[in-house]
Amino acid sequence: MTAEGRDPGLQPERTRLAWRRTTLSCTVVALLAVKQALHSGASPAGIVAVALSALAWLGFLLVAHRRVLGMGTARPQPLSALGALTAGACTVALAVFAAAMLF
């Protein structure tokens, strides 16, 4: 079968659902960061960590939204290198800011 005749089947739908699940996970992490900051007292470092977590979450949300929209076409384009780098950087940033809030 040639690349022109490729039938993607349900693969784009599974990828779209995976992006949505990952976005939901990032949302939960961001909300837990806010909860942790509120319960531990609003220290300046905690506020900065929550603000940076919110920015990382928004960055990931933007990449995920663009990817989900891109998966709606008959022949979705692969994720760009910049999109993959941004998603990875936002994920690592969320983990670093969460660790910073704990200490």
The answer on pLDDT for 85 being more than 70 is yes
User: Cβ contacts of residue 56 below 8 Å, gap of 6+?
Assistant: 30, 90, 93, 94, 97
Task: State residue 73's pLDDT score.
Answer: 76
Tell the residue number behind the tokens 């692969």, with chain if given.
78
Instruction: Band the pLDDT of 6: cuts 50, 70, 90.
Output: low
> With 60 as the cut, is the pLDDT of residue 3 above it?
no
Mean pLDDT of the region 14-30 = 88
Instruction: Provide the whole-model pTM.
Output: 0.77
End-to-end alpha-carbon separation of the chain, Å? 56
Percent of the chain with pLDDT over 90: 23
Q: What are the residue boundaries of the structural domains of the chain, listed by start?
A: 11-102
Q: Please give the pLDDT value at position 8.
A: 62
From residue 58, alpha-carbon distances to 5, 95, 100 in Å are 37, 15, 19
